Amino acid sequence: MTSIAHNLAAVKSRIAAAALRAGRDPETVQLVAVSKTVDLERIRQAVAAGQTLFGENYLQEAREKVAALGHEVGWHLVGHLQTNKARGGVELFDLIHAVDRLKLAQALHKAATAAGKVQDVLLQVNLAGEETKSGAAPGEVLALLKAMARLAHLRVLGLMTMPPFFADPEQVRPYFRALRELRDQAREMTGLPLPELSMGMSGDFEVAVEEGATLVRVGTAIFGSRA
């Protein structure tokens, strides 16, 4: 077993244990292996070990990987997307996690319309109001979701967040809980199903799963530290 296969098995085991602690079916949590800066050989090792879903941050890097590996695996954009690169996002990705403003949603809708595609997206929420991070303020979420729901070639599947960094995962828990509660409120107010919650990374994904994450974005725990 390669080290990547071993790491994948360990991460999946931890996800399953966290789900069971919360009374959840482990099958309701998808692992997004964040492969930014990871070379093709190591991604292929992950595919050989059964990983089927990868997350990229940058269009150019993703374009090369998708060209090499194709769409036998799923590709998610987990990083910030500039409005003028919306067409590339629609071309490459099954799900775009970090839609953080209406202007970007409209650009993605225009690109998806031209491509004859309905683009799946998540609305990114900046729960802590950090200036260094993208995302809609919690108070903007309902209005944004309603506006995005009117774009016929977008399908808003849920919410995503990147909380502040804490060494202790328990300090992150309130942010994950807040995103779930915000999603539940938005469901009631908009009537949208919003099944997905993208939250949790290598240092805190177990707490995220316990609080309701359906997509966890894990890179270093699988591929090792980045250069």
pLDDT digits (tens, 9 = 90+) for 38-94: 999 999 999 999 999 999 999 999 999 999 999 999 999 999 999 999 999 999 999
**Domain limits at 180?**
3-223
Q: 182-198, pLDDT tens digit by residue?
A: 999 999 999 999 999 99
DSSP state of 53: E
* pLDDT band, very low/low/confident/very high, at 227 (cuts 50, 70, 90): low
Give the number of other Cβ atoms within 10 Å of residue 167's Cβ. Answer: 8
Tell me which of 79-83, 103-107, 223-227 is least confident: 223-227
Whether the full predicted model's pTM is greater than 0.75, yes or no, is: yes
**Of 120, 122, 209, 131, nearest to 172 (Cα)?**
209
- In 3D space, the residue among 33, 58, 30, 59 whose CA is nearest the CA of residue 44 turns out to be 33
Amino acid, res. 162: M
Under a CB-based contact definition with an 8 Å cutoff, are residues 206 and 18 in contact? yes
Percent of the chain with pLDDT over 70: 99
Rounded CA separation 125/139 (Å): 10
Beta strands in the chain (DSSP E): 30-34, 53-56, 74-77, 95-99, 119-125, 154-161, 196-198, 215-218
User: Which tokens is 225 given?
Assistant: 């530290």
| Domains held by the chain: number | 1
Local structure of residue 136 (DSSP, 8 states): B
Tallying the residues shown for the chain, one arrives at 227
Q: At which residue do the structure tokens 């799946």 appear? A: 120
Within 8 A by CB and 6+ apart from 94, the residues are: 74, 75, 76, 120
Using DSSP, how many helices (H) and how many strands (E) does the chain show? 9, 8
pLDDT of 133 above 90 = no
CATH for 103: 3.20.20.10
